[in-house]
Amino acid sequence: MTESPGPVRILSLNEEDHSHILDENALAELLLDQRYADKKVSLISVAGAFRKGKSFILNFFLRYLTWREKGDESTDWLTSADKLEGFSWRGGADRDTNGMLIWSRPFLIKDRNNEDVVVLLMDTQGAFDTLSTVKDCATIFALSTMLSSVQIYNISQNIQEDDLQHLQLFTEYGKLALEECKGKPFQQLLFLVRDWSYPYDADYGFLGGDRILSKRLEVHEKMHPELRQLREQIRTSFDKISCFLMPHPGLKVAQNPVFRGELEDIEDDFKSNLKTLIPRLLDPNNVTIKSINGQHVTCRELLEYFKIYITIFHGEDMPEPKSMLQATSEANNLAAVSSAKALYVRQMEDICGGDTPYMNTEALEKENSRCSNDAIQQFKNTRKMGGVEMSLKYLEKLDEEMAEQYKYFARQNNSKNLFKSMRTPAVLVLLMIVDYFFQEVFQFIGLDSIAGIFTSICFLVTIALISWCYVRYSGNGREIGTAIDGAVNWTWENLLQQAVLPASQVGFQIAANATANASKKRR
């Protein structure tokens, strides 16, 4: 992750053994950011064949969101004053994108309920290049479709039969993984037809696109059963399917080898249709929030789905339907555990976090029990897959993680107890005073040999106190400091506490009796 915004590669393709490697640290840094972790998420992904302009078109989404975030409505977000920047893209015949990339800076927009939604932009490796196998292509497309809320299927010039066949191939395994979910397995699919060259058949934009899409997905009696089944499967796989016809960006873009994204060189028709496409997808009334099993997904939960889904695509063969379904159920339960634990941590931070004062142990345990019950209740109320048996297993996991987290909060709370934090020097000083007292007593009665023993003990205690202060100040020799703390704690709990507390109680009783006697005399 870099300080300035840029694309982050979260999934890489190893071209030697054709395995996929997920960068969990980079993804966690992005999705677990406190500003976004518990907000609903909308993931917009672009997939399709390589060298068809996926990264190029995605940069216009990035440009629009950046302009919208600044809130300067007096300017045109497609002004011709500068260049197009963002995800890497270039002309030519060789592949440019490897794996899956997410823009490192999420964007916040409002949905129709005026709630914050985190928008993520994801670029994917193009399919059917000379370095990737069919499994590589299917893995990237399936992961992209399973994880995104809007999947933009980027195709060239027209929707042809092989485009539909590839779509069926790529989504087959993802559909099996989500077949238990409420409703259709995937959310929104947008056919983005680039370089549409038949304007007499249909106009550019959504209306023309839906007209062409209806023709391509039309089913009739004389159609071969295989073709009919293909279309029915596509229709039943997505909640919403639409199509947008885009004109060609212009010859200066396609044929100029030194073109670097100068907006003034892009045809006006292309820019005009961008102003229709992108604001429509990101409008508060149209933004598609990621949901699985009928429940909205947060950034924190999305991380769990990423981690689980990538594991089931390891190996030479595509995963079996049962393993896909099992993995989805596990990810669904893990996401519920993550959200419930986050609730527990937030509540406990408010009660005994770093900025709060010390709380006695009994009160802390009572608050811990209340927060744990709240988290467990949220977990139980979350719609989950896999049945009761799997849910109980992950409920136990939630209990274990909260118990481990409570140990941290208890240690943090104890560190605020002034006496406990200063116990070691206080006990050492007390030992020095006691040693000095007995040393003087035995010297007074002439037992110098015994007095010498107490003198030696006082010397050792003084050395321990000096060493402890040095360790705390410098941070060096932590093992010595730990050993001194351990010895002092044992001495306090097994020797001094038994004498000091009763003596203090006797002292308080004597003082109380003296006060009472003085009061009687005055009367």
- Tokens 């000379």 belong to which residue? 130
* pLDDT score of 477: 75
Q: Is the pLDDT of residue 221 over 50?
A: yes
Q: What is the pLDDT of residue 101?
A: 92
| Listed residue (393, 271, 375) closest to 329, CA to CA | 393
Percent residues over pLDDT 70 in the chain: 81
Distance CA 55, CA 57 (A): 6
Q: What is the pTM of this model?
A: 0.71
Task: Give the residue-averaged pLDDT of 266-281.
Answer: 92
- Pick from 114, 62, 41: which is nearest to 288 by CA? 41
CA distances for 126 relative to 40, 50, 56, 153, 400, angstroms? 28, 4, 13, 11, 42
Which of 420, 412, 416, 430 has the alpha carbon at shortest distance from 489? 420
Just give the CATH number of 7-319. 3.40.50.300
Domain ranges of the chain: 7-319, 337-417, 422-522
Selection from 242, 141, 243, 240 nearest residue 184 by Cα: 240
Do domains 7-319 and 337-417 share one topology? The answer is: no
Ordered alpha helix ranges (H), 415-447: 418-421, 423-444
pLDDT at 515 over 90: no
**pLDDT above 60 for 503:** no
In this prediction, residue 201 carries a pLDDT of 83
pLDDT digits (tens, 9 = 90+) for 111-157: 888 899 999 999 988 776 666 677 777 788 888 888 999 999 999 88
The residues, ordered by sequence, that sit 6+ positions from 42 with a Cβ below 8 Å of its Cβ are 117, 118, 119, 120, 149, 150, 287, 288, 289, 290
Closest CA to 88 of 119, 125, 120: 125
CA 242 to CA 434: how far, in whole Å? 86
Name residues whose C-beta falls within 8 Å of residue 211's C-beta, 6 or more positions apart in sequence: 202
* 8 Å CB contact between 58 and 123: yes
Q: In sequence order, which ranges of 218-360 are alpha helices (DSSP H)? A: 225-237, 251-255, 268-281, 299-311, 321-352
Across the strands, what pairs with 295?
A: 292
Mean pLDDT comparison of 112-121, 258-267, 485-494, highest-scoring range: 112-121
Return the CATH fold of 337-417: Methane Monooxygenase Hydroxylase; Chain G, domain 1 (1.20.58)
Higher-pLDDT residue of 245, 93:
245
323 — pLDDT class (breaks 50, 70, 90) = low
Q: Please choose, from the candidates 312, 303, 316, 305, the residue with its C-alpha nearest in 3D space to the C-alpha of residue 14.
A: 316
